[in-house]
A and B are shown apart, each in its own frame.
Chain A
């Protein structure tokens, strides 16, 4: 059967405002896995303690019809208040934080430090044979930083996933 939708896949960043109640994240993750949608990145945290709201940022890829479907499916979940497609509403600010550990001595160590400096990464832990760098930026920037550190004793990476917010004065 030919695919009904052979438009190319697009990457979209969705912002969700949800009730911070038990199981809400499971509901969202279960929706993606149950219906076969992709999650490229997912972040979640409470943003308003008084009204017990959490904000979830999901980066997903799919054909336009699938992206529309994902938004409608999310929107009909009872504890989901709002779903905003930041990719559609205009250029949003997207940031990710990563902690990156490198290990090495001598020249390699020096090189890592120089690269970190040029990426404006901060050194948050130092030993005589290792560094932990903290870097914030667009996911692509972090990808690039990590790939440069690979030959310089990269040990491990921990990334937060994307947090995003629309530009301009209005809320989501």
Chain B
């Protein structure tokens, strides 16, 4: 399709042609022509946010829960700089986002014009790619290319910066047909020889483990299905990073729980002691590996990743397979079946025996209390109340996030949205709103802390305006809990500025926005209060008053290997757990 239209009209046409149904944005001087073009159509629905950071997190929640790219529209200058945190978040967690920014007219670029900033310069290191479009005849191609780049290969955020004169200028629009990037063509199929070598290694393994990550989710639901099939066929244990939760069902007996700094004892011990590790779409992040030179010292490592730069970045692997998880798992399964591979049943049974002994340590246990709500108990009760519902969970960042990862269990991919790489406080509420936009009939809950929730709380107004009945479940311990925990670990319990002073009355605050406020402080009242929250057809801010002093365990102290975890039955010595060398780590 080719026809003449203005740049602003091209933006809307390109979004329509890309199948975009929702976008998140905030108007301003440099994007007014696009907002005007939006006014003349009703195919793409616009969600008006309260802060541009919220817009990007909403797009992330939308993308991660639906598998589609999230779309953001913001103005120049502060609009663009406010989006930077969200863009960086999407880059680190590989979330496909297309962010359109307005720019001052081309003749004013470089003159320090009102609301001018060097958007492509500022966003260059925090996007997968970005464009400044100076000619309206490039605009349609660039927009389609932006969607292609954001969604193909390792997904990520792409910025398209459009000067205001380009939005007014007329040019020829081209449709998305035949737009394929000249050079950016990521490899999807893994190398046959490598796949064969990997399958042979796996079939002979005596202590294997599947270490899976967000790449399985990004590869689509079929990748999760293939992972389950491979696990069932082999009988091997499965663990996952924070980003990969849900790709493998938590109710399955082969599931070891999450691994890493706050992962389960069994998952980390199995990682440490395994002889063959199959890393599927994960990237050996420092939260996962602990001390690098003591990371899984005796294992042969196979690494499937679509991004070649993830291979051998932190950990040297024996068999790298560059490709998309779905394609590679498919080929691995075919090869496995073709070879009539038979795992060493005896060895695997004895491996499971070892794992069961680690499991018996019950590393997620905690001391229950009849008087005060333990944060873990709150998550458990929430999980029990909603596990049979069609539910999506988002989180903010901190202790509550780790407790949610430990005590809320996921059966399906795309149900769990959290800021893993960047660790952005304030992510959860807007991400929940984005997920609710994608799934209007589903239950969406943001598991939050009282500190994090205040970072993007203004988006409650967005939720009210668009009838998005998200539930915000705040574990309120009146501390930036994870900061305080690290002050216990590293700084002799001197709680420098980690107390949440002058907290608002969350119930009144919710009501001030037009939502529902609920407070609960006694374990005995919790179930009924959760039911009340679930019954509400409006956004709810649930102020769950929890034990102030609880720390998040188990934990691999920074600078320690997987087999030196602090367990909840031996929490003493927290202040001595980290060595001098470990203290510099975060």
Contact = CB atoms under 8 A, between A and B. Distances in A.
A100 to B, nearest CB: 35
A2 B295 CA distance: 13
Interface residues of B, number: 29
Contacts of A69: 309, 312-313
A80 B128 CA distance: 13
B292 A76 contact: no
Contact of A26 (B124, B316, B581): B124
B81 to A, nearest CB: 17
B309 A1 contact: no
A65 interface: yes
B309 A72 contact: yes
A53 to B, nearest CB: 10
A60 to B, nearest CB: 15
A128 interface: no
Given A4-B293, A76-B307, A81-B183, A68 B312 contact: yes
Q: Is the interface of B mostly helix, strand, loop or mixed?
A: loop
A30 B293 contact: no
Given A72-B308, A76-B307, A30 B125 contact: yes
A168 interface: no
B129 to A, nearest CB: 4
Interface string B162-189: 0000000000000000000111100000
A135 B582 CA distance: 51
Contacts of B308: 72, 75-76
- With a 10 A CB-CB cut-off, give which of A1, A30, A79 has the most chain B CB atoms: A1
Interface string A1-32: 11010000000000000010011001100110
Interface in B111-166: 120-121, 124-125, 128-129, 132, 149, 153-154
A81 B181 CA distance: 11
A88 interface: no
Contact of A1 (B124, B307, B581): B581
9 contacts: A1-B291, A1-B559, A4-B314, A26-B121, A69-B309, A69-B313, A72-B311, A73-B309, A76-B307
Given A34-B125, A81-B183, 9 more contacts: A1-B559, A2-B293, A4-B292, A4-B293, A19-B183, A69-B313, A72-B307, A72-B308, A80-B183
Interface of B: 120-121, 124-125, 128-129, 132, 149, 153-154, 181-184, 291-293, 307-309, 311-314, 316, 559, 581-582, 585
Interface of A: 1-2, 4, 19, 22-23, 26-27, 30-31, 34, 65, 68-69, 72-73, 75-81
User: Which are the 9 A-B pairs with shortest beta-carbon distances?
Assistant: A72-B309, A78-B129, A72-B308, A4-B292, A81-B183, A73-B309, A78-B184, A1-B581, A34-B125
